[in-house]
Structure 1
Amino acid sequence: MSVATGYDVIVVGAGIVGAACAEALSAAGVRVLVIDRGAASGGTTAAGEGNILVSDKEPGPELDLAIASRAEWPAVLGRLPEEVADVEWEPKGGLVVATGEPALLDAFAATQRAAGVDARVITPADAFELEPLLTRAVTTAVYYPDDAQLQPVLAATALLAAVRARGGVVQVGVNALGVLRSAAGRVVGLETGDEVIPCQAVVNACGPWAGAFSQLAGGPIQILPRRGMILVTAPLPVCVRHKVYDADYVGAVGSGEADLQTSTVIESTRAGTVLIGSSRERIGFDEAIRVKVLRELARKAVGLFPFLGEVSVMRAYGGFRPYAPDHLPVIGADPRVDGLWHATGHEGAGIGLAASTGRLITELFLGLNTHVDATPFRVDRPALLGVVAS
């Protein structure tokens, strides 16, 4: 690429969040370049399950963003080029079940309903009608018709195809080493190993590596990797109809513990495989496969769906999720570096939150009214800057 070539925005990171930001910006007429040091959607996105959930979040800013993003995804998919529009979108609904005291799950559903979520408490008999192979130990369940699923790599690839179709550029195998700033301190380019690419703004969408890039760019934020593992069964006839998880999952999502936590999340894919998750563990970027984690996932899965005890596991995979200490995404301009933006910190919810994240970045960049309150996701939060509140 010529050094003289300029862009309005360079998005660093070609995963689902970076792709969604680039797609929304390009749809608004912004000239966009997307770069990634590896393959497009080859990092955290490739290790995702494709969850688009409103069921797993407590009332607050992240739930508000999730509700907005669930509504935004069909609009985003409607903008995709026809040849890449099939991203295995499945508005299948979610089912959360408890095998212990039902009052806690019922109370959680009530708080979500007050926040605008369609959360329907149902009887065990209703749950068995929705999922005939579910364990009979279920004591209560909540049905969430708005939970959905897509294939994350297909989705990110399709979003990037839309960017290209509008004249944007996607380049892989390019290392972002920092930003070039003018004498006044404003971003005027992105530094790579070979050149400086002129631009007006840079979006840090590096997922769990966003903390490292933020340091290079002069606007450090505290984003840490949190590892998750998933088991994949051999292909089966359709046997799990919805996205099903146990009530412990909500607590694991919101926990800040570094030690291993597991909870059961089970879903079928269009290919017939069953995905079994999930685990959370802060162990840095350690990629070692831990058999104890896989055993725990398998044990809990069989407890929820006993038939899985007779099913072969085809493979296992893991990935790193971008964890923010206060459990909120980072979406917006960095007040310390004029022209530096961040879109990261979604942890395991990036696929579900990507659509609204892209829209919000675009609205903020263009100075438009935002479709959700952007204040909770601002960059200068104490937790992101490593400041301990007194």
Structure 2
Amino acid sequence: MQHCDVVVVGAGVIGAACAEALSARGLRVTVLDRGAPAAGTTAAGEGNVLVSDKAPGPELELAKASRRIWPELLDGLRAELGEALTGVEWEPKGGIVVATTDESAGPLVEFARAQRAAQVRAEVITAAQAAELEPHLTPRVTAAVHYPDDAQLQPVLAATTLLAAVRARGGEVRPGVAALGVGRRADGSVAEVRTNRGAVPCGAVVNACGPWAGEFAAVAGAPVAVLPRRGLVLVTGPLPEGTVRHKVYDADYVGAVASGDADLQTSTVVESTRAGTVLIGSSRQRAGFDETIRPRVLSELARKAVGLFPVLADVPVMRAYGGFRPYAPDHLPVIGADPRIAGLWHATGHEGAGIGLAAATGRLLAELFTGGEPVVDPEPFRVDRPAVVREVSV
């Protein structure tokens, strides 16, 4: 089998973004996935590209960089591949975060103030202005913040577009190939990826297995603490255009994202798609890889969504779906080289923000790989930080 420079294990949006960025720098890349491209966590995503839900710190800096990179990257791919291969439904529609109680109003406004200090456009607006932006929003709004830079894309289309670029540059995408571990040279460095279809010789491997990254890291000989965190989403039937115009969520969503609690947490997130359907989330629960869809969770999501948008009370639910988010104990992605095994790299742990963070993650990993100037400070995302390498038994 032909030798490649890098094997990327995982064809979700993070693996696709890493593969695209590496191939853009002239490296020969092979992408492996035990299933179909973008069929795992990426297929269960809502397509959010957000700055609104992140407190000042390393993840927000990565999100800001990614929000800048996504439109530039898509424009470049459109020029390279043509319109037919690059329709990803990019919508820079903005987001609105609302408080519906007096207790949550103050913390929401303070969170926005801290984000503005970190150069995020976070505009505190009145309840009347929120109603102007979202006419069907509940009148119980006690505070609201408008985030003009929040955006959305179709995650499966985004991932397959990135992979199309890899193929166009001479790389390979091989679905149905399960990575079983790595083979090493006499000096301990990566020599190949062992798979159910034979070995793939390579100079390096990127672990972009999402919620399964902990499993691959363990069989590769360098365990990391990346765990699955389950989430469910409701999808309504198509609604008239303009029923929901932005991504809208309740102020308690930020707390749920940042929490490490294993118990079920739900918060209200409502947004439309280009097809006219409305996506309703979100739930978070650490329950291993249990795929059970529990009606109790769906009922709670629906009840909270109607509280935010009363117009949804009589709207039929078309389907529900769930997925597993890759969760790191300190809530930061894992991006970079593994110092324990030369040639092993990781790009995982983004939890529910992987689609939004993918563009900057791919670029950062490629810059570190090739010795370029990193788009953000890579230090907080190091593989060998205590939360990731010392909590592998979690």
Residue of structure 2 in register with 1:121 after alignment: 124
Seq. identity, %? 71
Distance 1:166 1:387 in 2: 39
Residue of structure 1 in register with 2:389 after alignment: 385
Within-5 A mapping of 1:258-269: 258-269=262-273
Residue of structure 2 in register with 1:69 after alignment: 66
- 1:274 and 2:278 aligned: yes
Residue of structure 1 in register with 2:23 after alignment: 26
Distance 2:197 2:134 in 1: 55
Residue of structure 1 in register with 2:352 after alignment: 348
| Pairing partner for 2:341 from 337, 340, 353 | 337
Residue of structure 1 in register with 2:148 after alignment: 145
Distance 1:175 1:289 in 2: 26
Residue of structure 2 in register with 1:155 after alignment: 158
Deviations 1:344-386 (A, max 9, x none): 0000000000000000010000011101000000000111113
- 1:228 and 2:219 aligned: no
Letter paired with 1:88 = E
Letter paired with 2:372 = L
Residue of structure 1 in register with 2:3 after alignment: 6
Letter paired with 2:91 = E
- 1:214 and 2:214 aligned: no
Residue of structure 2 in register with 1:171 after alignment: 174
Q: Cα distance 1:199–1:301, how it changes in 2: closer, same or farther (>3 A)?
A: same
TM-score, with length taken from structure 2: 0.97
Residue of structure 2 in register with 1:51 after alignment: 48
Aligned residues: 385
Residue of structure 2 in register with 1:369 after alignment: 373
Aligned-residue offset at 1:194: 2.8
Deviations 1:12-68 (A, max 9, x none): 000000000001111111110001000100000000000000000011000010000
Aligned-residue offset at 1:78: 1.5
Letter paired with 1:246 = D
CA RMSD of aligned residues (A): 0.8
Residue of structure 2 in register with 1:308 after alignment: 312
TM-score, with length taken from structure 1: 0.98
Q: Is the 8 A contact 2:225 2:391 kept in 1?
A: no
Aligned-residue offset at 1:240: 0.3
| Pairing partner for 2:115 from 109, 112, 117 | 112
Letter paired with 1:202 = V
Secondary structure at 1:221 match in 2: coil
Distance 1:386 1:305 in 2: 44
Distance 2:85 2:129 in 1: 37
Deviations 1:109-157 (A, max 9, x none): 0000001100000000000000000000001100000000000001101
Q: Which runs of 5+ in 1 are unaligned?
A: none
Q: Cα distance 1:209–1:86, how it changes in 2: closer, same or farther (>3 A)?
A: same
Residue of structure 2 in register with 1:283 after alignment: 287
Aligned-residue offset at 1:237: 1.1
Distance 2:372 2:246 in 1: 37
- Once superposed, which parts of structure 1, at least 4 consecutive aligned residues long, lie more than 4 Å away? none
Distance 1:175 1:317 in 2: 24
Deviations 1:180-222 (A, max 9, x none): 1101011011111232111110000000000000001111101
Q: Cα distance 1:162–1:187, how it changes in 2: closer, same or farther (>3 A)?
A: same
After the TM superposition, which of the residue ranges 33-42 and 97-106 deviates more from structure 2? 97-106
Within-5 A mapping of 1:244-263: 244-263=248-267
